[in-house]
A and B are shown apart, each in its own frame.
Chain A
Amino acid sequence: QSALTQPASVSGSPGQSITISCTGTSSDVGGYNYVSWYQQHPGKAPKVMIYDVSNRPSGVSNRFSGSKSGNTASLTISGLQAEDEGDYYCSSYTSSSTLVFGGGTKVTVL
């Protein structure tokens, strides 16, 4: 199972919006609504930000939103803040009943 494709890095100024893409195939992202997004700060465990494509867990800021079109899922962070810096990973359930992650995107707040 190949990793999902994410941009290596995305940056933005405070207050701006950024979008991270996550491209898979019809056997994973395009075939199921089990796409999640995780934020990871250095030395820390990942934290779920979005699950099932567009659902936000309680306690996660509404500045984070998710969507999907075809084989590509997206995470948008609006009103970018310094604390949003970190690594972001997408994941998807697959037709083999396994799970695949994206390669990760480093978000930098300029």
Chain B
Amino acid sequence: EVQLLESGGGLVQPGGSLRLSCAASGFTFSSHAMSWVRQAPGKGLEWVSAISGGAGSTCYADSVKGRFTISRDNSKNTLYLQMNRLRAEDTAVYYCAQDKNDIAGATGFDYWGQGTLVTVSS
């Protein structure tokens, strides 16, 4: 059974940093691209970032480019999102999602975690 478990969310001040983790199990982690998707309170889904299975390719939404960094440790079956220079508009539930493919970018998601809430506020 595929499981994705996010952690690391919480309350952070504007301008601060946070690192999210997503522990994966139940599938060959290195064979799938992975993404982070967020959802602000009461709003729709927004794709944030993707990383290829071998970590050789990454891409970002314009809204987070230069502030967020996606990475993965295939030896630990774990996906990360380092978030710097956080803004109020980054407040959202952050989901990690398994892509059904392993190509540069994101094509669509087979499985989602339950999400972790990030609140940026003073």
Chain A residues close to B by CB (< 8 Å)? 1, 3, 34-36, 38, 40, 45-48, 51-52, 57, 87, 89, 91, 93-94, 96-104
Q: How far is the CA of A40 from the CA of B112 in the complex (A)?
A: 11
A91 in contact with B95 given A1-B61, A99-B47 (CB within 8 Å): no
Q: Which of B57-73 contact A (CB under 8 A)?
A: 57, 59-62
- In the complex, B26 has a CB within 8 A of chain A: no
Contact check, B105 vs A99: say whether CB atoms are below 8 A apart. Answer: yes
Contact of A97 among B45, B105, B109, B113 (CB under 8 A): B105
Number of A-B contacts (CB under 8 A): 73
Contact check, A99 vs B107: say whether CB atoms are below 8 A apart. Answer: yes
**Can you spell out 7 A-B residue pairs with CB atoms less than 8 angstroms apart?**
A3-B44, A34-B108, A36-B107, A45-B113, A91-B47, A98-B61, A99-B50
Residue of A whose beta carbon sits closest to that of B62: A1
Closest beta carbon of chain B to A42's beta carbon, Å: 11
Contact check, B44 vs A97: say whether CB atoms are below 8 A apart. Answer: no
Contact check, B45 vs A46: say whether CB atoms are below 8 A apart. Answer: yes
What are the residues of chain A within 8 A of B105 when measuring CB–CB?
93-94, 96-99
Q: How far is the CA of A34 from the CA of B106 in the complex (A)?
A: 9
Contact check, A47 vs B108: say whether CB atoms are below 8 A apart. Answer: no
Q: How far is the CA of A87 from the CA of B57 in the complex (A)?
A: 31
Q: How far is the CA of A3 from the CA of B105 in the complex (A)?
A: 17
A51 in contact with B110 given A99-B35, A103-B44 (CB within 8 Å): yes
Contact check, B45 vs A34: say whether CB atoms are below 8 A apart. Answer: no
Contact check, A45 vs B115: say whether CB atoms are below 8 A apart. Answer: yes
What are the residues of chain A within 8 A of B35 when measuring CB–CB?
99
What are the residues of chain B within 8 A of A48 when measuring CB–CB?
108-110
- In the complex, B83 has a CB within 8 A of chain A: no
Contact check, A51 vs B108: say whether CB atoms are below 8 A apart. Answer: yes
